[in-house]
Structures are given as C-alpha cells and as structure tokens.
Amino acid sequence: MSASRLARTLDRVLVTTAAVSLFALMAFTFADVVLRYLFARPVRGGLEVVELLMVAMIFSGLPLVSRRDEHVTVDTVESHFPGAVKAALRRVMHAVAAAGLAGAAWLMVRKAATLAEFGDKTQLLGVPIAPFVYFMAALLAVTALVHLAKTFLPGEPGGAGARVV
C-alpha cells in the first residue's frame, strides 16, 4: 500500500471513530437524563462512559486537525513575510510541533505504563484505564508523524478558530 493510500485509509478510520464517539456521547448523555428522570434509573458508571468516549473522540480528532492544517494560528505578522521565509518558517514550525507531540506521546506512554503496573481501573465499571492512555499516546504519535510529514511537504495553514467563536 502506498503512503498516500495508507494516509487516506487511516484518515477514514479516524473520522469514523471520532464521529461515532461524538454521536454516542450525545445519545448517551440524553439517554442518561431521560432514564434518570422518567424511570429514576440512572445509567451505572455513566460518567466513566462519557470520559472514555471523550478520550476516543478528542485524540482521534487530533491527527485530522493537523492533517487539514486547522490549528488556530496568528497570521497578523507572518502574512507580511516574503514567500520564501514563510515557507521555510512553516517547515521549522512543523518540525517543532512534531517534536513537542512526540514528547507528549512519550509522557503518555510512561503514564500508561504506571497505570498498567498498578492495574488502575475506572471506579464503577472496572474498565482498565491503561489501554486508553496507550491509545492517547499512539494518536499523539500519529499526530507527530503528520507534522513530521508536513515538515517536508507543508500545506497552507488554516484558521479553524473561526469555527469556535
């Protein structure tokens, strides 16, 4: 499989994971409220399910944001730089971001190892936490790889902050 095909497949898998987790998060929150009020029967360990879904959604979303260059950036000053400087600068920024994310992934691997060693589980449902933290680490590493790839093939930075405010 070529690298670009692999990237497309991975993208699809991550979009699906993120979308399904978010929809489940919404449906679950609604169902929890309905069950609690109409049937006086809250879902046991509801908070834990929400947290695990959040982890799945946020961290599978990260490589997607980086791949689409949707991180919030400030272009006030940079837009006045000459083209060649801008292009070089973008490569440097991607390299730094890749290093930072790789560091974060490593921190999460360490954290996961500690959690696995003590066998930490969620309080009510008893779901082991370590695999989820390894998942965080893996996706941070994938995001680092996206930035590493962009160090060599930079795209146009976006401004996804627009969608928030």
Partner 1 sequence: MTAALLGLAAMLVLAFLRMPVAFAMAIPGFVGLGLIRGWPAAMSSTASVIYDAGFQYTLSVIPLFILMGNFVARAGMAHELFRAAYAFIGHLRGGLAMSTIVACAGFGAICGSSIATAATMAKVAYPSMRKFRYSDRLATGSIAAGGTLGILIPPSVIMVIYGIMTETNIGALFAAGVFPGIVATVLLCLAVVYVTWRDAGAGPPGERSSWRERFHALRGIWPVILLFAFVMGGIYGGVFTAAEGAGCGAFGAFVFALARRTLTWQVFVEVLAESARTTAMLFLILIGAFIFASFVNFTSLPDDLKRFVAQFELHPMWVIIAICAIYVLLGTAMEELSMILLTVPVFFPLVVHLGFDPLWFGIIIVVVVEIGLISPPVGMNIFVLRTLLPHVPTGTIFAGVMPFMIADVIRLAILVAFPAISLWLPKLLF
Stretch that binds partner 1, among 2-10, 11-19, 148-156 (CB under 8 A): 11-19
Find the part of the chain contacting partner 1 (CB under 8 A) among 1-9, 75-83, 148-156. Answer: 75-83
| Of positions 61, 145, 150, 154, contacts partner 1 by CB under 8 A | 61
Binding residues for partner 1, how many (CB under 8 A)? 62
102 lies in the site for partner 1, by CB under 8 A? no
Q: Which of 10, 35, 100, 116 binds partner 1 (CB under 8 A)?
A: 100
73 binds partner 1 (CB under 8 A): yes
Shortest CB 150 distance to partner 1, Å: 11
68 binds partner 1 (CB under 8 A): yes
Q: How far is CA 139 from CA 89, 117, 125, 133, in A?
A: 25, 21, 25, 10
The answer to whether the beta carbons of residues 121 and 128 sit under 8 Å apart is yes
Residues 126-145 that bind partner 1 (CB under 8 A): 129, 132-133, 136, 140
- Based on the shown chain and the rule CB under 8 A, indicate whether residue 5 belongs to the binding site for partner 1: no
Handedness of CA 103, 105, 111, 113 (dihedral sign): negative
The whole-angstrom separation of Cα 32 and Cα 50 is 10
Q: Which positions touch partner 1 (CB under 8 A)?
A: 15, 18-19, 21-23, 25-30, 32-33, 37, 47, 50-51, 54-55, 57-62, 64-65, 68, 70-78, 89-90, 93, 96-97, 100, 104, 107-108, 110-111, 129, 132-133, 136, 140, 157, 159-165
